[in-house]
């Protein structure tokens, strides 16, 4: 299954780290109600392109994106929530971007962005970005090449707002 602009964001739960309670289920479709959200997906925390090219753009442009009416910027990957939390802390993104785990790739499969990891044994998500308004996908961009940050970049998302 793949989603398209005009579709509701899938209701599959992701995982978020609560500083007091630990890992918690996160309902993206519930969170997106009554808000404009930017969600971007990366193949893996700490991987070269994700850590050097994709995430830094969203950190640098976070305020500009929020100034255009976006309530929150969220990042997801198929890494476990402990890895995502460590990446959030080490990247300096705390307070700018919410990090989520799709460790079983269930959400990625619903989006149609899942692919087998050629270096390991897991399923990854293709690099993507999604503009969601009131739970509905307004824009959905998926990179066509591995290692490229173009249509899923913060700069490109800014042009869509």
The residues that are catalytic are 50
Nearest to 54, CA basis, from 112, 128, 131? 128
Give me 139's structure tokens.
Answer: 């824009």
The DSSP code sequence of 45-91 is TT-HHIIIIIHHHHHHHHHHHHTTT--EEEEEESS-HHHHHHHHHHH
């Amino acid at each position: 299954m793949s989603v398209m602009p005009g579709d509701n964001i899938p209701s599959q739960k992701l995982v978020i780290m609560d500083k007091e309670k630990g890992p918690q289920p996160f309902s993206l479709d519930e969170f997106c109600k009554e808000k404009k959200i930017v969600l971007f997906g990366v193949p893996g925390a700490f991987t070269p392109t994700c850590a050097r090219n994709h995430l830094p753009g969203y950190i640098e442009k976070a305020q500009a994106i929020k100034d255009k009416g976006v309530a929150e910027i969220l990042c997801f990957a198929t890494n476990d929530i402990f890895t995502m939390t460590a990446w959030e802390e080490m990247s300096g993104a705390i307070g700018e971007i919410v990090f989520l785990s799709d460790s079983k790739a269930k959400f990625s499969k619903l989006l149609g962005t899942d692919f087998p990891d050629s270096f390991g044994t897991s399923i990854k998500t293709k690099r993507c970005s999604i503009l969601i308004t009131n739970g509905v996908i307004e824009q959905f961009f998926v990179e066509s090449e591995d290692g490229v940050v173009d249509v899923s970049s913060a700069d490109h998302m800014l042009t869509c707002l």
